[in-house]
Structure 1
Amino acid sequence: MLPSLLPLPLRRLAWLAALGCASASAQNSLPELNALGSQWVQSAIGQGGAGGDEALQSLPLRMEVQVGKLDARLQLAPCNQVEPYLPAGSKLWGRTRIGLRCIEPGARPWNVFLPVTVQAWGMGWVLNTNINAGETLDASSASQAEVDWAADTSPVIALPEGWVGQTAARNLMARQTLRQSMVRPAEVFAKGATVKVLAKGAGFVVTSSGKAVNGAGVGETVKVRMDNGRLVSGTVNAQGDVETGM
């Protein structure tokens, strides 16, 4: 396990892959391949390669990395040029994996995967008590604590304004870390309510009204059944009106 501080943006995974190839010369045993993979992951994390999100790179997250081992039953052909790489669609965040492949010309090709767990410790908010779906969170609902940002794909809510006054999107348990997928804006109107609809065009606004097909909060999308029976979709603004384009 390697703790380190996440630096400012430095993306050099391609350079690290080249470094891995150079370091892999004549390394064919599983322990050596495990070590190569571990070195590559730790170098990538140190160069700001965690998370795949530029916004994460400026946060003071304390990284911890656990690199697993290849299956001891593997029988790999000798290779003098092994390339560590990050599989397409993967990122060094949470439970993931990296690949090791033989790219030596003329050698028998192979491709294996090494399990990796990346933890990113930083300040967040944890619930003090159970919260039922639809309940509104207030300032006493959660306390600040160090949490693992990489434990889930949904981003951690770092600031209290991101959850105070919001409602629980589902049943939440005490000690859970608050993440963006767990809360939603409080409803400003319920299903069936009469709402004002603002149809905006180039330099003009047409005002009408209709019945909300679903409840919604500020910034959320809602469907409205107009008086003529037509169904329109729009976004709830800060005044509780529904804005739609023409």
Structure 2
Amino acid sequence: MPRLAARLVRACALGVLALAGSGAALAQAAPDPGTDLGPLTQRWLDDAMSRNQAAGLPLRMEVSVGSLDSRLRLAPCARVEPYLPTGAKLWGRTRLGLRCVEGPTAWNVFLPVTVKAFGPAWVLTGPVATGTVLSAQDAMEAEVDWAEESAPVMANPEMWVGQVAARPLVAGQALRQSMVRAPQLFRAGAQVKVLAQGPGYAVASAGQAMSAGVAGQIVRIRMDNGRIISGTVNESGTVVVAL
């Protein structure tokens, strides 16, 4: 399941986003906006989180609401509608819009919101230097907040075992996609095997790599006759050219 973490993140974020989109149905009375907006918003978000869990989404969600600027003075409002601003998601540090939809004066404000999503992940047991190939012994399973950072958590060991640390990593960090990269299989200038494939045939030859090769990436190869072709590096370091 090479994309499990990203799929779970999207499922949770989109699930909560869909629930949040029904703000008009969840609009509540707020006779004193100066004191009631925080609790009103907390109730609305708690309801969204409860529906999220009832839908069977895989993470344990927690939400906390910040406070408005104390200098704001809002007119009385009989009904306040929460909504998500364009481009916002109920994930990590975000904000929720609140607008007066029934009152003598229309107003619109934003509250800071923090959504945490706790679930299983792999946490480093010690420091890892840049360029180190990760093994199964480098991390242990633990519960972490997936929404603490924007990069998706790698919940399945198949996603990070054998990958290379893209930067210095420290003990206690949850492994995320931005922390690793595929290992380099050959350097620029190296002689590499080239496999040209077409319908019903395959021809093997050799050429010189014009850049370093990483599995899954496209590289350019200079053939013995001087021709330059492009192909995809496979897991064994062979450059596969589709004809």
- How far apart are the structure 2 equivalents of 1:113 and 1:129? 41
- How far apart are the structure 2 equivalents of 1:223 and 1:145? 38
Helix, strand or coil for the counterpart of 1:72?
coil
Helix, strand or coil for the counterpart of 1:211?
strand
Which residue of 135, 138, 144 maps to 1:138? 135
8 Å Cα contact 2:213-2:219 kept in structure 1: no
Query: Which residue in the other structure is 2:222 paired with?
Result: 226
Which residue of 23, 27, 30 maps to 2:31? 27
Query: What is the 5 A alignment of 1:208-223?
Result: 209-219=206-216, 221-223=217-219
AA paired with 2:19? R
- How far apart are the structure 2 equivalents of 1:185 and 1:226? 23
- How far apart are the structure 2 equivalents of 1:243 and 1:187? 16
Structure 1 residue 205, shift from structure 2 partner = 5.4
- How far apart are the structure 2 equivalents of 1:203 and 1:97? 56
Query: Which residue in the other structure is 1:241 paired with?
Result: 238
CA RMSD of aligned residues (A): 2.7
What are structure 2's unaligned runs of at least 5 residues? 1-11
1:97 aligns with 2:86: no
- How far apart are the structure 2 equivalents of 1:229 and 1:107? 75
- How far apart are the structure 2 equivalents of 1:110 and 1:198? 65
1:187 aligns with 2:184: yes
1:128 aligns with 2:125: yes
Helix, strand or coil for the counterpart of 1:18?
helix
Query: Which residue in the other structure is 1:153 paired with?
Result: 150
Structure 1 residue 194, shift from structure 2 partner = 2.2
8 Å Cα contact 1:212-1:222 kept in structure 2: no
Structure 1 residue 97, shift from structure 2 partner = 1.0
Q: Could you tell me the TM-score, scaled by structure 2's length?
A: 0.80
Structure 1 residue 225, shift from structure 2 partner = 3.6
1:42 aligns with 2:38: no
Query: Which residue in the other structure is 1:3 paired with?
Result: none
Query: Which residue in the other structure is 2:3 paired with?
Result: none
Instruction: Give the structure with the higher percent helix.
Output: 2
- How far apart are the structure 1 equivalents of 2:211 and 2:78? 62
How many residue pairs get matched? 226
Helix, strand or coil for the counterpart of 1:240?
coil
Distance 1:171 1:214, change over 3 A: farther
1:192-243 alpha-carbon deviations (Å, 9 max, x no partner): 2222344555666565543333323322x132142336363x4322332223
Structure 1 residue 92, shift from structure 2 partner = 1.1
Query: Which residue in the other structure is 2:8 paired with?
Result: none
Query: Which residue in the other structure is 2:115 paired with?
Result: 118
1:12 aligns with 2:33: no
- How far apart are the structure 2 equivalents of 1:83 and 1:178? 38
AA paired with 2:51? Q
8 Å Cα contact 2:33-2:77 kept in structure 1: no
Query: Which residue in the other structure is 2:85 paired with?
Result: 87
Moved more, 202-211 or 31-40: 202-211
